Amino acid sequence: TLILGIESSCDDTAIAVVNTDRTILSNRVFSQSDLHADFGGIVPEIAARAHAERLDIVAEAALTEAGVALGDIDLVAVTSGPGLIGGVLSGVMFAKGMAAGADIPLIGVNHLAGHALTPRLTDGLEFPYLMLLVSGGHCQFLAVTGPDEFTRMGGTIDDAPGEAFDKTARLLGLSQPGGPLVQAEAESGDPKRFAFPRPLMDRPGFDMSFSGLKTALRRARDKIVEEKGGITRQDRADLCASFQQAVADVLRKKTARALTAFAAEHGATTIAVAGGVAANTAVRAGLQQAARDAGFTFTAPPLKLCTDNGAMIAWAGWERYRLGQSDDMTLAARPRWPLDKTAAPMLGSGK
Ligand code: ATP
Ligand code: FE
């Protein structure tokens, strides 16, 4: 069974062909970062237009690379939320056209479910497991107990860590996306030079806060500029290292706490991560240590499947479809769509 997965909720136009035996036949990602580079953030109108223009090119490329024709596809899965409404709409309309044209079923997928179910595609993980989704727009602990069962245990109450990395990069004159550049700078920096805040870290619960970090970082930078008239390379490296250490510390401690609670409630000891920030070596080392200390196995999908992609949407669509679910031509785009139906509105989702 072959699934076409379509993702266009943010700034990547991504389409993949996935076999339900867990083979990824193709996984094309057309990034828009160059289009938004001059604006210091994603411009929704530009994103929507670019998705609309590129979806058929990317679909063509994904099918060609997989060596299949549209007629070979058995199911079309598409991100129908949450995300930037224009981009999601472009994807949903395109998916409807594909499904109608090939006369095959259509299924709408929650983007976050795509991330959260990825380790089932990449590593064949069994339920239940704990998922830490840590990306440019999200930061949350999810207890994943079934293809459609997610319980949000906690997460950021303001910025996502990826957002904080990107803002830090901007404050220090590095380009975007900032995460990898801040990490590279941090390698030659002193993580102890600046004592940046770690709000909520030692409080009970699983909530985190990252928005105070950028204020602290800006203040530290301004103080150096005031004293010396500018910042040296070493200052910048130290700022990056100290910032990164603060993020990694908060994530490590909160993860340790979440692991204990998860094991007590579900009797399982598997943690998986997703999202671009999981690529950060300091963050990853902290999470691995927390997992080791708690006797958990740690799973991290390859980076290309941690960030936005079509393969995760194809897989999540399949997980829903085989439960007997599907959608029809009335499938709507949902800009907001919390995974956990019982949860309060997702604070700080950034989307
Ligand atoms: P979402 O997936 O929540 O919709 P997104 O598409 O922005 O948001 P991802 O594509 O998962 O998120 O990840 C991108 C984010 O990850 C960016 O903020 C980027 O700076 C950050 N990032 C990538 N690599 C690293 C790294 N090595 N260290 C820290 N941050 C990183
Ligand atoms: Fe994402």
Question: Which helix (H) or strand (E) is 26 found in, with range?
Answer: strand 24-31
User: Which residues have their alpha-adjacent CB atom under 5 A from ion ligand 2?
Assistant: 308
CB of 147 closer than 6 A to ligand 1? Answer: no
- Is residue 99 within 8 Å of residue 317, measured between CB atoms? no
CB count within 10 Å of CB 315 equals 27
Confidence of residue 343 (pLDDT cuts 50, 70, 90): low
Mean pLDDT over residues 199-203, rounded? 92
Query: Residue-wise over 179-196: b if at least 16 C-beta within 10 A, else e?
Result: bebbbebbeebebebbeb
This model's pTM is above 0.80: yes
Longest Cα–Cα distance in the chain: 68
Give DSSP secondary structure letters for 125-138.
PPSPEEEEEESSS-
Please give the mean pLDDT across all residues of the chain: 94
Q: What is the pLDDT of residues 72-106, one digit of tens each?
A: 999 999 999 999 999 999 999 999 999 999 999 99
- State yes or no: pLDDT of 350 exceeds 50: no
Q: Which residue has the tokens 């910025």?
A: 159
The answer, yes or no, to whether the previous bond of 177 is cis (omega within 30 of 0) is: yes
- Is residue 198 within 8 Å of residue 210, measured between CB atoms? no
CB of 137 closer than 6 A to ligand 1? Answer: yes
CB of 165 closer than 6 A to ligand 1? Answer: yes
Mean pLDDT over residues 214-231, rounded? 96
Q: What is the pLDDT of residue 347?
A: 42
Ligand 1 centre and the CA of 309: distance in Å?
13
Ligand 2 centre and the CA of 328: distance in Å?
24
Sequence-distant (6+) residues with CB within 8 A of 308 are: 7, 9, 10, 12, 14, 29, 111
Ligand 1 centre and the CA of 278: distance in Å?
8
φ, ψ (nearest 5 deg) of residue 98:
-65, -50
CB of 138 closer than 6 A to ligand 1? Answer: yes
Q: What is the pLDDT of residues 113-162, one digit of tens each?
A: 999 999 999 999 999 999 999 999 899 999 999 999 999 999 999 999 99
Interior angle at CA 248, CA 246 and CA 251, nearest 5: 110
